[in-house]
Each structure stands twice: as C-alpha cells, then as structure tokens.
Amino acid sequence: MAKSAAQQPSYDDCAALEAVLAELAALPPLVTSGEVLALKQQLAAAARGEAFVLQAGDCAESFAQCRPDAITAQLKILLQMSLVLVHGSGRRVVRLARLAGQYAKPRSADAEVRDGVSLPAYRGDNVNRSEFSAAARRPDPELLLRGYERAALTLNFVRALVDGGFADIHHPEQWDLSFAHASPSRDEYERIVNEIRASLDFARTLTGEDHPALTRVDFFTSHEALVLPYEQALTRQVPRRDGWFNLSTHLPWIGMRTASPDGAHVEYARGLSNPIGIKVGPATEPAALVRTLEAIDPHREPGRVTLIHRFGADRIAEGLPPVLRAVRAAGWPGLWICDPMHGNTETVVPTDGAGAGRPVKTRAFAKVMLELERAFEVHASCGTHLGGVHIEVTGDDVTECTGGSRGLSDADLARAYRSAVDPRLNAEQALELSMLMARHLRAGR
C-alpha cells in the first residue's frame, strides 16, 4: 500500500521534476558507503557510553551562506565545542554537522498569510525562495539541483580543510574565540586550550613527532530527509555491499512532523543501510515510536537508530520517561540524544530596541540549559544514559537566543538576527553549553 508523504512541496510541472530527478540520479554521490558505516560504528560506541555525539549546525542552511567564511565558522565552533567535551568528559566525540544538505524545512502551515495575501510557505532553499512573492514561493524543481551542488561544494571545502590540518591544535586561528568580550566561559575555554597545547607539546618533545590523530578529526554530515524524491534520487546500491545507501549525507533524520510509523518517511528509511535519526517529542506516542523502531530497526542493530528527544524544559521530566521505558521494554538499548532547542521556541514582541513591536522567534538560553540538565537527570533516574546533544548553532556572533553570559534581552534580538528559520545559539552560548555538558559527563563517569 502506498504511504502518504507529509510535508512535500507540490510541484506544478511534473515533467520538469522528473527531468531533475533523472539528472540527480546520474550524478556522483556526496558521501561513501564506507563513511556511512564508519559513522554507524561510532554511534554504536556512543550507545554503549564510550563516545558522546555532538550534532550541531544551522536550523536551515541557505544557498547564500555557501561561502568560505560561513563554512569555516561553522566547522570552527563544532571543533571548539568538541574540544571542550573531549577535555571535560574524557570520551570520544562524534562530530555530526547539520551541514551540506540541510536545505529543506517542514512547516506547521502550508500557507503564509501577510496583509491578506496567502502564498505557499517557505520550505527551505531546496524547495522555494524566502521572498514573499508568488514567483519566489512557487516550488521549483531546479532548486533540488542547486541544493545538490551547494552540498557538494560545501563538502568539498570541508574535506579539504580537514585534510589540510584545520583541526590541528597548533593552528591558533581555528581555536581562538571570535567574540572579543571577556566572560567566564572565555577564560575557562582558554585555559582548556592552553592545557591541551601544553600536553601535546610535551608529547611531541618526548616522541619527536605529532600524532596524526591529533591533527585530523572526522566530521560527518546530517540533514532532515524531508523531500523524498530528492533523497531517493541520491539513494544508491554500491558494489560489494548489500543494501541501499542514502549517499547525500551520512545520517538522514526523520523530523517531528514526518515521524508517523504509517507515513512515507519511515517507509523510506526502513530500506536504507544508513544510521537514521528520529525526532521524539510531546507529540510522540510511545507505542507508535515502538512501531516505528520495529519497522526501521527490527534487528536492534547497534548504531542504527539515534533517538533525538526534544520535549522542552517544561515537559521533559514528564514526557521523556514513558518513552524511555517503552523503548527499553521493547528491547532497544537506544542511543538517546537531547535536542534542547526545538521544544523551547517562543515568539516574543520586543518592546524596545530596533525591532520593537515586531514578533520574533527566540529561545531563552536558560531554558536550553535547563532542558539539557533535566535530560541528564531523567536518564540517570530511568537507568538509561544521555549519549549526545543536538543543537542549532552558528559561528556568527548573532543575537537570536536570549540570555547567556552576556545577558542578551528581547531588545537585543534585532541587532544581529540573521536566521531565516529558527533562532540559533551563538558561539559564546554554545561554548557555555558545552562546559555544562562536560561537567555532567565528568560527574557521571
């Protein structure tokens, strides 16, 4: 029976869509099956408690942001966060970027109404354009090709940076903080970097060489597998391996709005050999999640499924335990990671500052921190463990989430609000969050 696919663009030119998909299907893959399986192994290690997953990046990448400075800034903050986590927790960190393909967004309403004019909602650069005009909002299949190309350009640059020693701790430009002002997290971060540099210098003096593992790190990519025709066009069989691989990304995930066990997204994911992320939130029925797991991971394969819970600080204590219990009772050890962003989004109307009077989406940093703290507590009390975190962050010095050590208020939001979709943590807030996690991980060892 055909399953219905939620959140799909409605293309008006089927022939044009078919032509684009045929072209995509003939183009080279963006990642390899070997990398995909290596990530699955690392996720299996995280499920056993031997590694911690850091999944982070933009809510939505935009084609315009496919620029060297933006990509470098994004890698840099991921690297810095992972350094704090490794140092604090003594565990390996799996770096999983929301990058090189995070171009399609689910929306709560199909249409957007402004001043009495109703147009299709903006669904990400892979689908249509954000400008509010009928021409811009028409889903355009050509954009799928542009998205594939942007993803390829991004990955090409990331791979070159990583191979060129971007992650070498002796390259100060990668490790120095971009924000100039003094703060306690800045001091703590600098202490950690200096400590690591000193111990590496010591090791080098002792052995006479740099260990390659210290200058090269792995980055994996992930995105929400939303527009199914695109994902399918990049789904391939490879010589000498069984199964089908989505080779547009290492880890495709199923978003909250498309996670029904009866929907087409779950049906699609079942057929893949990739590790799969599944969002879990207040709308998740524990029994339905168990059905989804039974479909996607009937063999309880280590590393196959990453469950990304996003309840919100106010609902996690009540909402998460029944889900943990149901999943465990059905026989999955589960790799659980916490997304403390998507359950804590609110709309505020600043009363002063440049954006006064205009509603804007934000997240209070205190709530983000609180959800994460509660996630550690809930897992501890349920006998499970938190294996990672999933956040929306940018290396740019934005003011999109309020709070943090600089005490950003609603009135600061307009100053540097650049997200086209959800509010992201800035680098400073992200490091503060990493330090909190490092403390918990250390205490839990």
What's the min distance (Å) between Cβ of 328 and Co ion?
Answer: 28
Which listed residue (20, 59, 78, 167) binds ligand PEP by CB under 6 A?
A: 59
How far apart (Å, rounded) are the C-alpha atoms in residues 99 and 203?
Answer: 34
How far apart (Å, rounded) are the C-alpha atoms in residues 88 and 102?
Answer: 29
Size of the site for ligand PEP (CB under 6 A): 9
C-beta of residue 250 within 8 angstroms of C-beta of residue 224: no
How far apart (Å, rounded) are the C-alpha atoms in residues 157 and 193?
Answer: 25
Which listed residue (57, 141, 255, 387) binds ligand PEP by CB under 6 A?
A: 255
Residue 256 binds which one of ligand PEP, Co ion, none, with CB within 5 to 8 A depending on kind?
ligand PEP
265 binds ligand PEP (CB under 6 A): no
Question: What are the structure tokens assigned to 294, written together?
Answer: 């039974």
By beta carbon distance, the residue nearest ligand PEP is 255
Which listed residue (256, 296, 313, 338) binds ligand PEP by CB under 6 A?
A: 256
Binding segment for Co ion (CB under 5 A), chosen from 53-61, 225-233, 320-328, 363-371, is 53-61
282 binds ligand PEP (CB under 6 A): no
How far apart (Å, rounded) are the C-alpha atoms in residues 341 and 393?
Answer: 10
- Number of Cα atoms under 13 Å in the Cβ half of residue 346: 16
Nearer to Co ion, 371 or 422 (CB): 422
59 binds Co ion (CB under 5 A): yes
Nearer to ligand PEP, 85 or 337 (CB): 337
Q: Could you say which residues in the range 305-364 bind ligand PEP, by CB under 6 A? A: 310, 342
C-beta of residue 139 within 8 angstroms of C-beta of residue 230: no
Nearer to ligand PEP, 256 or 393 (CB): 256
Tell how strand 92-98 and strand 51-57 pair up.
parallel
Which listed residue (125, 412, 422, 428) binds Co ion by CB under 5 A?
A: 422
Q: Could you say which residues in the range 404-433 bind ligand PEP, by CB under 6 A? A: 422
What's the min distance (Å) between Cβ of 422 and ligand PEP?
Answer: 6
Cα-based distances in Å from 45 to 42, 54, 122, 304:
5, 13, 38, 11
Burial of residue 98 (number of CB atoms within 10 Å: 0-12, 13-18, 19+): buried
How far apart (Å, rounded) are the C-alpha atoms in residues 402 and 420?
Answer: 17
279 binds ligand PEP (CB under 6 A): yes
Nearer to ligand PEP, 5 or 162 (CB): 5
371 binds Co ion (CB under 5 A): no
Q: Could you say which residues in the range 192-221 bind Co ion, by CB under 5 A? A: none
Binding segment for ligand PEP (CB under 6 A), chosen from 229-237, 251-259, 292-300, 393-401, is 251-259
Kindly write out the interface string for residues 257-296 of this chain, putting x where it contacts Co ion by CB under 5 A and - elsewhere.
----------------------------------------
Binding segment for ligand PEP (CB under 6 A), chosen from 14-22, 129-137, 189-197, 254-262, is 254-262
Kindly write out the interface string for residues 193-232 of this chain, putting x where it contacts ligand PEP by CB under 6 A and - elsewhere.
----------------------------------------
Nearer to Co ion, 88 or 423 (CB): 423
Binding segment for ligand PEP (CB under 6 A), chosen from 63-71, 186-194, 250-258, 267-275, is 250-258
Q: Which of 90, 94, 63 is closest to 78 using CA atoms?
A: 94
Cα-based distances in Å from 391 to 78, 206, 215, 292:
10, 39, 25, 24
Q: Which residues bind Co ion (CB under 5 A)?
A: 59, 422
Q: Which residues bind ligand PEP (CB under 6 A)?
A: 59, 106, 255-257, 279, 310, 342, 422
